[in-house]
Amino acid sequence: DIVLTQTPLSSPVTLGQPASISCTSSQSLVHSDGNTYLSWLQQKPGQPPRLIIYKISNRFSGVPDRFSGSGAGTDFTLKISKVEAEDVGVYYCMQAKQWPLTFGGGTKVEIK
């Protein structure tokens, strides 16, 4: 199974400041079709997860452009350029390169 390790576990951020979350995979997430199926989900308290980024850097429909994804191979990053109060929650990376699908352990973004 592919193991995804997220850091940090928690990220206290001042409103308007940037936040960055890392996701490291135990093996390359490059599929034989050339795509890298790494996505990011946001989960606000009491809500189901919501897709925000897919294939490393593509923002899903309706996601603000302050969210961006980058990376390649085994190392990926989610960045929030200027954190807003509504961004509070837990963020998960997920790989869909191969079965079984796996998630990172989650990173909690909170306001200082």
Given the rule CB under 8 A, which residues bind another protein?
A: 1, 33, 35, 37, 39, 41, 48-51, 54-55, 60, 92, 94, 96-97, 99-106
Instruction: Give least dist CB 12 to another protein, A.
Output: 19
Closer CB to another protein, 17 or 35, in the complex:
35
d(CA 14, CA 3): 30
Instruction: Give least dist CB 101 to another protein, A.
Output: 4
